Each structure stands twice: as structure tokens, then as C-alpha cells.
Structure 1
Amino acid sequence: MDTVDQKLSSKQASDEVGEEGWRFLLGTLRASVPVGSLGQGVEVAARAVAACGDDADGHLRVDVRPERVVLTLQSLVQAAVTRRDTDLAQRLSAVVREAGLRTEPELGTAAARSAPAVRSVQMLEIGIDALDIPAIRPFWKAVLGYTDEAESTGPSDPLVDPVGQGPAIWFQQMDQPRPQRNRIHFDLCVPHDEAQHRIDAALAAGGRLVSATRAPAFWVLADGEGNEICVTTWQGRDDNDTP
């Protein structure tokens, strides 16, 4: 395999492009480009595609909105970040700067955080606890119209939306029934430097901290009725592991 196509560890991917405003989230690199109109957003998208050249279709995804463009880089064949992706991130940041704009994780000031349309880049997953994952996985694949993740290796692997609109679904093995606890929960992957702010905001809004024993890999929070969400980052995991 060419060196540029080798998978990077979470730490490698984060370190190589973090200063350019990119954040590592669930095997992808993501950055926002604040824009002033939908037309400007389309122009940014066109510049990004041109900058990626022949690698655009296999690595770049673009979400264009009137207020921002979200750029996502990942080797779609490997479902992971490679050296090619970090190289493309550097290239995209340079192109965006040439247009008088910037790539950023969109953390901003306290005032900016309160604006409805402004928040950090993030990715949402849904976790389903199951006693027999191979038995229920086909149901979720069929009812959602989902597909296997790239390089899927078994009947317990995550499911993904083939058009990238819905959250990924992953399955957590249970060893015994838990009828008194919710068995479907959200996993919210945020930039490592955004996690504490998001947790503080959730607690101030009436939530409670269930567990921080695995932080900063993830914190378990719950609402007032016990419905759980995990706030996750790439940190606190084995840096030698590839995404």
C-alpha cells in the first residue's frame, strides 16, 4: 500500500491538522467554513472539489448551508483517515484562506456559542444494546435502508447511511437482560476541546453526570428521567489504534 493511503491513528490525524481548524471525529476529519450566503457556500464547495482533484470523489464530502460549509475528509474505501486525507486538509485550508475565509471547528466565544446556528462540528451515533446482535442487526439495516460500513468484517459491525444523512448505528453486546434501563442511547462525538463545554451546558440544563470513569474517551450523561447520552472524543483511547 502506498504510504499516503496508510491509516493514521486518532492522535496522528488530530495533531497533523488541528492547528488548521480541523477536528478528528469518528474516523473523519471535519472543519467548518463560515460563509455569508448560499452562493458563497457553493463557491467554497467548488474550490474544495477543484483543490482535491481526482481525490475528491473518494475522500471529500461537502455540506453547504447559507451560513457555513462543512468539509469532511475520509478515505471512503477504508472508512478511515489516511495521510492523503491530512494532506488534502492542508490543501483545502490554504484554498479557503486564499478566498479570505477560514477552516475552523467553530468553537467561538461564549456569545457565539449561544447563537442557534453556531456550534462545533460533531457526529451523532445511535448505540443499541443487544443480547444477540447478529439476530437484530438485519432488522435495523432493512428498516433504515442502511448498509455495511466500508471494510466491514462481521455481523456485529456498525451500519451507516449510504447517503450520509442519518447517524451511524452501532451495537453493544449485553450479557444479560436489563429491563429497567434504556437500551438505545445516543453517542455524540465532539471535538476534544469542545467536550467540557458541552457537558457543562448539559448539566446546567438539568442533566446529570452518570459516569466519568472512561473520560476523556466518553462521559455518560442523563436527562431528568434517566435517558442517557454519551459525549465522546478520540482522546483517552489507544493512540496506536487506527480509527
Structure 2
Amino acid sequence: MEQTVSRQEASEAVQNHGWRYLLGALQMSVTVRTLAQAISLAADAVAVCGDDADRHLRVDVRPDRAVFTLQSLDRATVTTRDIELARRISATADKSGFLPEPGIGTGAPRSVQLLEIAIDALNIARIRPFWKAVLGYTDETGAGGPEDRLVDPVGQGPAIWFQQMDRARPQRNRIHIDISVPHDEAPRRIETALAAGGRLVSATRAPAFWVLADMEGNEACITTWQGRDS
């Protein structure tokens, strides 16, 4: 029976198979040499997922890589079925001679990541319809409440979520980017951002997220799945 799993369970179950857990989804990037290889690998993944492919699997194919994402789309989270499918896809990729891309610190430009845009608001329910309309976005599966996040229905753009403000803060930017990275890659990402001229604004919610800012005060958060389970 398909069951929802905790963040830690999901991360530990797939990490040794080349996958990483990123806030509600599993991702794996595989290096290829041609677009034809990427498409062939994607076709193999669809085949081993069988009837579950349409409900769980998304694939981004490029001439140099194929990025696989697994998530139970009707629950918008990771389940035991996603973990099983991840292991199947890893096995078929390995059988074909393809290996997942290594993480930061091994020479790779970067590992997998997910982007979200956060908008601060005094009245979320009032502004949410505007952003839904102007972006052509839709409600996340199983959501649709006045404070729930919005997603791109074709999966191309980052999710939008809304952060409740308790008072107006005109001196502070009201939109920031969240970069969700594998939990063990966050320190390196923060280190490189600080070396590039950034500053650490807050680490009080680490390891769930660190707030960084550029030299003009524009903020971005490095986030991980850790520190979110009660």
C-alpha cells in the first residue's frame, strides 16, 4: 500500500541510489553524451515505472543530461511508491552504463536543486489571485486554500508561495528566491555565496533555511528538508 514517508525517511532511502530529496520530491541528474541517449534513458525509465509513470515521474531531457523527478502528483509529496520507482530507474540507468551526476565538491558545476519564489504579503488571500492569473499558474494538487502555494501547470517555472507579514516593511524587499539544495550541500553553497560578496542575515531557522543577502540587501534563502519535521 502506498504511504507518505517522512523527509528523513525519503532522503535516507534514495541517497545511495543517486537520488536526492528536495522538499517534497526526489531528483536525480544523469550525464549523457547526446540527446538521443537522454531520450532513450527517459524511455527506459517510463518503461520500468509502467502504469505509475504518469502519476509519479517527470523527466527533463537535454543533450548533456536527463533530470528525473519523482513525486506522487495526487498528494504533492513523496511516497513509498516513489522510493520504489527511484530504485528501479537507478537500476535501469546503471544497467545501461549511465551514472548519476556527483554532488558539489567533486568537480560538478552543481547538483540538483529546486527554485521557489516567496512573496511577502499583508493580505495573502487578496493578492494570491493576481499572481495566479498573471503567471498562468494553478493550485497545487490537494491545495487551493487562500495561503497555499501556486505551481506552473506544465512544470516549467518555480513554485510561488506567500509569507505572511505582520506589518509593512517598506525598507525591505518583498520578494525573494528560495534555493532548495541537498542537505549536505548547503554549507558549501552558503560558503561560495558569502565569498562572492554576500552576507548572512539569519541562521536562526537553520538547517531548514539560511537567509542571505547581496551587497544591496536583496535576499535569498538556501533551504533544505532538514529541521522541518516536528
Give TM class, smaller chain: over 0.9
Whole-angstrom CA distance in 1 between matches of 2:114 and 2:104? 18
Q: Residue in 2 aligned with 1:129?
A: 120
Deviations 1:166-189 (A, max 9, x none): 000000111110010001000110
RMSD, aligned α-carbons: 1.1
Q: Residue in 2 aligned with 1:83?
A: 80
| 2:52 partner letter | D
Q: 1:234 aligns with which of 220, 225, 229?
A: 225
Q: 1:18 aligns with which of 11, 15, 18?
A: 15
Q: Report 1:202-217 matches (<5 A).
A: 202-217=193-208
Question: Does residue 210 of structure 2 align to residue 219 of structure 1?
Answer: yes
Q: Report 1:38-187 matches (<5 A).
A: 38-104=35-101, 106-110=102-106, 112-113=107-108, 118-187=109-178
Deviations 1:210-239 (A, max 9, x none): 11111111000000000000000001121x
Whole-angstrom CA distance in 2 between matches of 1:51 and 1:194? 30
TM-score using structure 2 length: 0.97
TM-score using structure 1 length: 0.92
Whole-angstrom CA distance in 2 between matches of 1:195 and 1:204? 14
1:103 deviates by 2.8
Structure 1 portions without partners, runs of 5+:
none
Whole-angstrom CA distance in 1 between matches of 2:190 and 2:168? 29
Is the 2:104–2:185 contact (alpha carbons within 8 Å) kept by the matching residues of 1? Answer: no
Whole-angstrom CA distance in 1 between matches of 2:131 and 2:66? 31
Secondary structure of 1:193's counterpart equals helix
Deviations 1:74-124 (A, max 9, x none): 0111101000000000111000000011234x31545x24xxxx3110000
Deviations 1:6-45 (A, max 9, x none): 2111011101111111111120000111111111111111
Structure 2 portions without partners, runs of 5+:
none
| 2:218 partner letter | N
| 2:103 partner letter | L
> How many aligned positions are there?
230
| 2:81 partner letter | R
Whole-angstrom CA distance in 2 between matches of 1:108 and 1:123? 15
Q: Segments of 4+ in structure 1 off by > 3 A?
A: none
State the identity as a percent: 66
